[in-house]
Structure 1
Amino acid sequence: MMKFHTSVGLLALFLAFLFSFFISSDSQINPPTDSDVMLSLKKSLNPHPGLDWSDPDPCNWKHVACSVDKRITRIQIGHQNIKGTLSSDISYLTQLIRLELQWNNISGPLPSLRNLTSLQVIMLNDNLFNSIPIDFFSGMTSLQSVNIDNNPFSSWELPESLIDARALQNFSANNANIIGKIPDFFGPDKLSGLVNLHLAFNSLEGGLPASFSGSQIESIWVNGQKSNGKLTGSIDVIQNMTFLKEVWFQSNEFSGPLPDFSGMINLESLNLRDNHFTGLIPLSLTNLSSLRIVNLTNNLFQGPIPKFRNSVDVDFVKDTNSFCLPDPGNCDPLTNTLLTIAKSMGYPEKFSENWKGNNPCLDWFGLTCNGGNITIINFDKMGLNGTISAEFASVKSLRRLILSDNNFTGTIPPELVTLPELYEIDVSGNRLHGKVPSFRSNVMVKTGGNPDIGKDMSSSKGNDESGGKGGDGSNACEKSKSWIGTVVFFVVGGLFLIFLIGFVAFCFSYKTKQKRFG
C-alpha cells in the first residue's frame, strides 16, 4: 500500500513538472500579446478609476500610446498616485519606447527589462521600488535617458550591462542606494554621448575614475555620499573634462590642491564645500568668465582669499578655511615662501590644518622661531611625499633643516648651500638620488638611508635608452657586438647540429646495410 502511494506521488510530481515545462515553453514560443501584457499590468498596478483604463483595447487608455499595428510604444503614467506593483510581463513589450512611472507609490521589485531594444526613456524616480535586477539594462541598445532617483532599493552596484546603452545621454540615480566605486565605463571610450551623470546621495567610495578624462559630460553630481569613506582623492581628472558646466562634489572627502581650470571654459557652477581641499585657489578658476556660482566653504584652502568677478555668486563662510587673512589681500612674504615649500609636497593636509593666519612664528606646526625668525624646520617622520623645494634657501635665518624619514624623491637642491646660518641638514631615510651639493665644511649633512644618493638617475636612464643619448655611443657599440655574437653563435651551432644529425643518420644507415648484406 505504501509503495502505491509513493508511486502516485511521484507520478503527480512528474505530471506537474511536465505541465510547468509546457507552460514555460508555450510562453516562450507564444509570448503574450501587448494587450495581454497591459491587462496584466493593469491588474498589478490597480490604478484608480480616474485613470480610465476600462476600455477593452489598451490603445484607447489614457497616457498609453500605440503604433499603427497596435503595438504599445508609450506608457506615461507619472504623477497618478498609483500604489500597486509592476508586472514582470512588461518585459514582453518589445516596441516600448518610453516608460514613465515617476512620482507614484509603486512598490516591490523592478522586473528586468532585458532586451527591450526599442526603449529610449525610463522614468521611475520617486517611487517605492525595493530592488533592481543586475540585468535590468542588458540589451537596451536604444536607451538615451534614465531617471531612477529616490527609490529605496536594496544596495546594488552599477552593472557592467549599462555599457549596452551606447546612446545614453542622461543617467540619474540620486538617492538610489548605489554602493562600490564609480565604474570606469562612463568615459568617452564606452558611453561617449553621456551628458548628465547624477549619482548624489548614494554610498559610493573611492576616487574619480581616470576614464572620465576627455568625456563630454556637462553636469556631474556626486555630492553627499552616505558611505563611511565617501569619495576621496584628487579631482585632477576634471581639468580634462572641458565640456563641464556643473560640478557638484560637496560633502565628500576629496583632498589635495585644485587642478588647473584654464581649459574648462564652459564651467558655470562649482560646489566643493565640505571636503578636505588644500593649497591656494588657482587664478585659472578666478579668471573663468563662464563661472556664475562657486562654493568653497569648509575646506583647508590656504594663501590669500580669492577675488572673483562681480558676476560670480560666491559662497564663502568666514573662517572655514586656512587663508592667511580674513579679507582679500596679499600674504606675508615668509608665509608665501612656506606655502611654496608646501606646494612641492602636494600641500599636505596636516600643514593646511595647522598653518593658519599670516604669522608662521605663531605656533605653526614643524617650525621653531627666535625673535620672529625661523631657525629650525623639523619635518621628521611626517609621511611627506614630493620633492625638496629650493625655496628652503629663502629662509635665510634657518640653522637646522630636518627632513628625515619621509618619502621625498628627486635631488637635494644645490640652492641650499647658500643658507648662511645653516649648520645641520638631515635628509636621511628618503628616496633621494643624485650628487650631494658641496655644503660648507662646518655643516653636518646626513644622507644615510637613501640607496641611490650619489647616483645620477637621469643620465643612467638615458644611457639605457637609444645607445646612450648625449654620450659617445659606446653602449650602442657594445649592444651591436653582443647582437652579432649571438647571431654567429646560433649560425655555427645550427650548422653543427645539422652535421651531427647527418653523421648519426649515415652511421645508422651503414650498420643497417652491414646487417643486411654481411
Structure 2
Amino acid sequence: MRIATRFIRPPRSVWRSLLSASLAAGAMNAHAAIPASERAVLLALYAQAGGSGWADHAGWGGAAGTECTWHRVVCDAAGDHVVQLALTSNHLSGTLPSLAALIRLRIANFDSNDLGGSIPALAGLAELESFGVEANHMTGSIPPLAGLTHLNHFSAAYNDLSGPIPPLTGLTQLQQFFVLQNRLSGPMPTLTGLTHLSIFNASDNQLDAFGDVSGLANLTYLRVERNRIAGPIPSLAGLSNLLLFVADDNRIEGPLPDLSDLVHLSGLVLDHNAITGPLPPLGGLAALNDVVLDHNAMSGPIPDPPAPNHLVAGISTLCPNGFTPSTHPATNAAWNSATGVSPWNADCDPDRIFRDGFDSD
C-alpha cells in the first residue's frame, strides 16, 4: 500500500547553507590532490581508451588537482582518492589500463562502449563493489575475483570472453553476476555460500557442468540456457525465492530433482535436453506460470497442476516426451488449457523422441 507523504519545503536559510556546503566541497575537491599514481591511471585510461573521441571528456587531462572534476570521475569526500568511474555509453574504444593503483575504487562501469582487449586485474581492488564491462568487445579470460569481499555486482555480458568462470567462493556480498553471451567454458562455479546472490546469468556460453546451488535463499534468477551442460540438475533445495530457472538447449541428463522448495517459482524452462524420469509433484508451486519441458525423454503420468493453478493458458509445452495422461479428467483439462493443445499429450509419442532426437548441440 502506498503511503502518501507531504513534502515540506525547508526554510531558505537551510537551502543557502546546503548550497554553500556543496560549493565549498566542490572547490575543495577541485584543488585537492589525488595520489600521482591514481592520476597516472586516469591519464592512461584517457590515452588507451581513445579519450579524444569520447562523447564527453570534459576536464580530462586537466591540471593536477582537478581530477575530481573530470567528467564521470567521483572522488571521496576529502578529494583524496578516486572512488568511482562511471563511463558507461561514452564511446570508449581501445583497451583498459591497469586499475591497480585505484586502491579506493568502489564502482567501475565501462558498459556499452567499444572496448577491446582483456579485463584488467581486479584482485587488489579490495573496496570494489560494482564492476561492469557489459556490451563491449573484450577478449581473454575473466581475471581472478578472489578477495573482492565487497563486490556485489559483476557484469561482463555480451563480449567475446573465453576460458572458465573463476571461483566465486568468498564473495559473500555478491548479488548479481552476468556473463551471458560469451564463449566461456568449463563448469559453472559453485554458488553455495553466496548467501546474498540474487541473479546468476551465464546463458549462451559453452559451460559443460552445473555447480552446486543449494541453500541460496535469495536467488531469484538462475539462467544457463544454450550451453553444453551435461549430467543431472543439482539439488534445488532451499531456493525458496527462485522465480525463474532456465536451462533449455543443453545436454542435461537424469531425472529432475525435487521441486517442492521452489514455492515462488514462476517459470521452469528445460526443453531440448535429455532429461528422463517423471515430472515431480507441482502441487505446492502456486506461483508457477509456465512449464516448458518439450524435447526430453521424460515419462510417467502427468502430475496434478499447482494448487491454486496459475498456469497461463497456451504457453506451457510438455511434448514430445513420454508422458501419459492422468486418470483424473480435471488434471488433463488443466494441462489442455496450459499448453493450448487438446489433448495436451497429442505430441507425446514416445517413438518421436528417438526419431527426432533431442535437438541439442
Q: Is the 8 A contact 2:105 2:127 kept in 1?
A: yes
Q: Report the AA paired with residue 264 of structure 1.
A: L
Alignment-derived partner of residue 183 in structure 1: 189
The 3-state SS of whatever aligns with 2:138 is strand
Partner of 1:213: 214
1:321 aligns with 2:321: yes
Corresponding residue number in structure 2 for 1:113 = 122
CA distance in 2, matches of 1:294, 1:58: 54
The CA distance in 2 between the partners of 1:132 and 1:281, in whole Å, is 38
Is the counterpart of residue 241 in structure 1 residue 239 in structure 2?
yes
Deviations 1:210-268 (A, max 9, x none): x422223222111110xxxx212222501443332211111112223323322221212
Contact 2:142 2:165 in 1 (8 A): no
Cα 1:257–1:95 shift into 2, 3 Å: same
Partner-residue secondary structure (3-state), 1:163? coil
Of the candidates 299, 303, 307, which is equivalent to residue 302 of structure 1? 299
Contact persistence 1:260–1:285 (CA under 8 A): no
Shift in alpha-carbon separation, 1:205–1:65, aligned structure 2, 3 A: same
Partner of 1:483: none
Q: Is the 8 A contact 1:143 1:168 kept in 2?
A: yes
Give the Å deviation of 1:128: 0.7
Alignment CA distance shift 1:236-1:130 (3 Å):
closer
TM superposition shift of 1:292: 2.1
Question: Deviation string for 1:410-453 (max 9, x for gaps)?
Answer: xxxxxxxxxxxxxxxxxxxxxxxxxxxxxxxxxxxxxxxxxxxx
Cα shift at 1:315: 3.2
What is the Cα deviation at residue 121 of structure 1?
A: 0.3
Q: Which has the larger radius of gyration?
A: 1
Normalised by the size of structure 1, how large is the TM-score? 0.52
Contact 2:120 2:143 in 1 (8 A): no
Given that 1:318 and 1:326 are in contact with CA atoms closer than 8 Å, whether structure 2 keeps it comes out as no
User: Matched residues, percent identical?
Assistant: 24
Checking the alignment, whether the CA contact within 8 Å between 1:64 and 1:76 is kept in structure 2 is: yes
Per the alignment, in what secondary structure is the counterpart of residue 270 of structure 1? strand
Q: Does 1:152 align with 2:160?
A: yes
Q: What is the distance in 2 between the residues matched to 1:297 and 1:177? A: 26
Task: Encode CA deviations 1:47-76: one digit per residue, 9 max, x unaligned.
Answer: 325313335122112222111232111111
- Please give the secondary structure, in 2, of the residue aligned with 1:34: helix
Cα distance, 1:158 vs structure 2: 2.2
Are the equivalent residues in 1 in contact too, given 2:94–2:114 (CA < 8 A)? yes
The Cα offsets for residues 359-395 of structure 1, whole Å up to 9 and x where unpaired, read as: xxxxxxxxxxxxxxxxxxxxxxxxxxxxxxxxxxxxx
Q: How far does residue 131 in structure 1 lie from its aligned partner after superposition?
A: 1.5
Letter in 2 for 1:165: L
The equivalent of 2:334 in structure 1 is none
Alpha carbons of structure 1 residues 34 and 318: separation in structure 2 relative to 1, 3 Å: closer
Question: What is the aligned residue count?
Answer: 292
> What are the ranges of 5 or more consecutive residues in structure 1 without an aligned counterpart?
1-30, 332-351, 357-518
- The aligned counterpart of 1:276 is 274
Answer whether contact 2:292 2:317 (CA < 8 A) is retained: no
CA–CA distance in structure 1, aligned partners of residues 301 and 102 of structure 2: 61
Choose the corresponding residue for 2:48, options 40, 44, 53: 44
Q: What are structure 2's unaligned runs of at least 5 residues?
A: 1-34, 332-348, 354-361
Name the SS of the counterpart of 2:85 in structure 1: strand
Give the CA deviation at 1:42: 0.8
Q: What whole-Å deviation, never above 9, does each CA across 1:322-342 have from its counterpart, x for those lacking one?
A: 2335998599xxxxxxxxxxx
| Residue pairs, 1:51-130, within 5 angstroms | 51-55=56-60, 56=62, 57-70=66-79, 71-88=81-98, 90-130=99-139
Residue matched to 2:150: 142
2:197 to 180, 185, 194: 194
Q: Does the Cα contact within 8 Å between 2:184 and 2:206 map onto a contact in 1?
A: yes
* Higher percent of residues as helix: 1
Mapped to 2, the partners of 1:51 and 1:328 lie a distance apart of: 66
Judge conservation of contact 1:195–1:218 (CA < 8 Å) in 2: yes
- Aligned residue for 2:322, secondary structure, equals coil
CA–CA separation in structure 1 for the residues paired with 2:173 and 2:319: 46
- Quick check: 2:251–2:274 contact (8 Å CA) kept in 1? yes
Question: Higher RCO, 1 or 2 (CA under 8 Å, sep at least 6)?
Answer: 2
User: Is the contact between residue 306 and residue 328 of structure 1 (CA under 8 Å) also seen in structure 2?
Assistant: no
